[in-house]
């Protein structure tokens, strides 16, 4: 049995929605999702068989996580885990960069994912130079596009 060693670290705002989503037919308060962007994300998962790890601040709001799970599950995508909430580990109010959360998650799962191939899909630059090689940068005005989805697939399958 082969080990799936591919991981997607998923942000939501600016990836599965855009500024326009909050003004359009999918507007739903602070947890709007765009169906076309969710479809593109599902395509990435289908074409790579990657494990999805939620790195978005959405992971802190149960209502948002429930909605995201529902929307993605309807497209055959499962959220497997979240990056850690370092504020609950004695880090206090110190701003924790997403790069640290991802590094800690990878370190804690190195036996499950030896030498992982991963991609970070995010609109905000909080990554080390090493991680930027695996970063697919979205724009919060546009969100996840087919071209960016292709880039993520290339990184994971390359």
Question: Which domains are present in the chain?
Answer: 6-157 (3.40.50.1000)
pLDDT surpasses 70 at 1: no
Q: What is the pLDDT of residue 125?
A: 86
3-state class percentages of the chain: helix first, strand second, coil last, to nearest 5: 40, 15, 40
Tell me the CA distances in angstroms from 107 to 66, 80, 86, 97, 104, one per residue in order.
Answer: 27, 16, 14, 16, 5
pLDDT surpasses 70 at 91: no
Tens-place pLDDT, residues 120-156: 999 988 888 889 999 999 999 999 999 999 999 999 9
Q: What is the pLDDT of residue 98?
A: 87
Tens-place pLDDT, residues 13-55: 999 999 888 677 767 777 899 999 999 999 999 999 999 999 9
Sign of CA dihedral 70, 43, 17, 53: positive
Q: What is the pLDDT of residue 43?
A: 98
Q: What is the mean pLDDT of residues 86-95?
A: 54
* Residues 48, 7, 5: CA angle, nearest 5 degrees: 75
What is the distance between the alpha carbons of residues 69 and 63, in angstroms, rounded to a whole number?
10
pLDDT surpasses 60 at 92: no
């Amino acid at each position: 049995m082969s080990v799936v060693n591919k991981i997607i670290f998923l942000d939501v705002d600016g990836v599965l929605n855009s500024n326009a989503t909050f003004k359009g037919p999918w507007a739903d308060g602070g947890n709007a999702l765009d169906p076309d962007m969710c479809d593109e994300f599902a395509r990435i998962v289908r074409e790579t068989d990657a494990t999805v790890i939620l790195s978005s601040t959405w992971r802190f709001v149960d209502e948002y996580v429930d909605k995201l799970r529902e929307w993605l599950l309807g497209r055959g995508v499962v959220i497997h885990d979240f990056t850690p909430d370092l504020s609950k580990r004695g880090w206090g109010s110190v701003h924790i960069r997403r790069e640290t959360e991802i590094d800690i998650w990878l370190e804690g799962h190195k036996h499950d994912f030896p030498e992982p191939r991963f991609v970070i899909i995010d609109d905000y630059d909080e990554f080390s130079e090493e991680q930027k090689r695996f970063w697919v940068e979205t724009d919060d005005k546009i969100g996840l596009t087919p071209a960016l989805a292709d880039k993520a697939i290339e990184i994971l399958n390359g």
